[in-house]
Amino acid sequence: MSGRERVEELLRGLAPQVLGALVRRHSAFDLCEDAVQEALVDAATEWPTRGIPENPRAWLTTVATRRLIDRVRSDHSRRQREERVVVGSPPAEFMAPIDEDAIQDRDDSLILLLMCCHPALSPPTQIALTLRAVGGLTTAEIAGAFFVPEATMAQRISRAKQGIRDAGATFSMPPSSEAESRLRAVLHVLYLIFNEGYTTTSGAEITRTDLTLEAIRITRELRRLRPGDAEVKGLLALMLLTEARRPARVGPSGRLVDLADQDRRLWNGSLVDEGVLLVTEALQQGPLGVYQLQAAIAAIHDEAESPEDTDWPQILLLYQLLDRLAPNPMATLNRALALAMVEGAQAGLDLLATLDDDKRVANHHRLLAMRGQLLEMAGDRAAAGEAFELAVRRCTSLPERTYLQERALAARRSR
């Protein structure tokens, strides 16, 4: 790991701690978050050349506090902002640096995650704010990950912070009546971040390892904060078991490789072992949840020595449980493949047909691609080719488009 990479890793771990210290004292989430981002940029510029300070957290907190003070002083709406930052506190107290010794053992990461996933925000803004406030990514990095202009992402983050302010959110744990639902929103956001990194929805690359690794890092931190939560363990297990297959997912030429065709010797065995252990613990711990079930399915795939050794009846059972616990068209789509592997292609196609009127996936390229695969299994090459060709037109990811075009061409040649 280079010096710059070490600095970036350190900063991402410190970002939520420093932000938590400022917001706990000064209340104004939006102003504090901007100040911390500026301090992170300063550190990313200075530390690789001047060296990491003896107490990097204190350095960041001090710089961020100065930036916050500068913002309050220079803004045209100074009086309004001062009223929002620790109302009633004397100026001398506001100007004084934060006592690092008093907060060094405090970790506000969970509260920050819950704020970033406030129900007043839409999922896209929750994702953006989580990556910036908790992950420490810059607006430019987040914009690059989601293939949108930096100005667009800046507006999205600004709206997110405005939404938190308008909702009157305070820097504290939500009441127990809503804490559980808020935590599930956090898990969903982390799940979406990982999925976008593992299979990008658009662009020339199939994966964004910066997003997958960041999702794993934050979920590891969440597990540390919530060690007794089985679904947190399940989500982390799912991420690890999926990430373990990434080295074999793309061939030397950049071509997307089917799970059945992957060289399993390239899979990351240590991630597989850790993921299997985590999901085993989670399933024993309960209660049963959607991430545990998905992780259990991933574990069966990862533990099979070859495609032929895959326990498809067990996978089908788990997908049936998943569809009952949390009905979802994507789960049904994947269950169709498992059903086809157990009972035959026509059974899978019949289940897939139940999604044709579901507006969430009716025009999705993955539904069309799955239909093409099952039609191929059924021996109808002409219909399979048509399904793959239609999927190509609906797909926005270049690697997936190339893969589907190859499947369509192969189907046409084998007629």
Per-residue pLDDT of the chain in tens (415 residues, 90 and over written 9): 677 878 888 888 888 889 988 988 887 888 898 899 899 989 999 999 889 999 999 999 999 999 988 887 776 555 555 555 554 443 444 444 444 444 444 567 788 888 888 888 888 888 888 888 888 778 887 887 676 788 999 999 998 888 888 888 777 777 777 778 888 889 988 998 898 888 877 667 778 888 898 889 889 988 988 899 999 999 999 999 999 999 999 888 778 899 999 999 999 999 999 999 999 999 999 899 999 999 999 999 999 999 999 999 999 999 999 999 998 888 999 999 999 999 999 999 999 999 999 888 888 899 999 999 999 999 999 999 999 999 999 988 888 899 999 999 988 776 6
pLDDT for the residue 274: 98
In a domain, 352, yes or no: no
Structural domain of 29? 1-106
* Sign of the alpha-carbon torsion through 227, 115, 191, 246: negative
Q: Is 134 helix (H, G, I), strand (E, B) or coil?
A: helix
pLDDT for the residue 210: 80
Q: Alpha carbon of 247 to those of 71, 174, 265, 266, 295: distances in Å? A: 45, 40, 10, 6, 19
In a domain, 100, yes or no: yes
For residue 176, the tally of other CB atoms under 10 A from its CB is 7
pLDDT for the residue 107: 60
Go through 66-99 and write b for each residue having 16 or more CB atoms within 10 A of its CB, e for each that does not. Answer: bbbbebbeeeeeeeebbebbeeeeeeeebeeebe
120, 134 in Cβ contact below 8 A? no
* Sign of the alpha-carbon torsion through 398, 404, 410, 411: negative
User: What pTM does this model have?
Assistant: 0.79
Q: Is 118 helix (H, G, I), strand (E, B) or coil?
A: coil
- H-only helix segments in 286-364: 290-303, 312-325, 329-343, 345-353
In a domain, 382, yes or no: no
The pair of structure tokens assigned to 118 is 């406030």
In a domain, 14, yes or no: yes
Q: Is 250 helix (H, G, I), strand (E, B) or coil?
A: strand
Q: Is 45 helix (H, G, I), strand (E, B) or coil?
A: helix
In a domain, 63, yes or no: yes
In a domain, 40, yes or no: yes
pLDDT for the residue 102: 42
DSSP state letters, 188-247? HHHHHHHHHHHS-SSBS-S--HHHHHHHHHHHHHHHHH-TT-HHHHHHHHHHHHHHTTGG
pLDDT for the residue 75: 61
In a domain, 319, yes or no: no
Q: Structural domain tally of the chain? A: 1
Q: Identity (one letter) of the amino acid at 246?
A: R
In a domain, 48, yes or no: yes
The owner of tokens 């969430």 is 360
pLDDT for the residue 383: 95
404, 366 in Cβ contact below 8 A? no
Q: Is 208 helix (H, G, I), strand (E, B) or coil?
A: coil
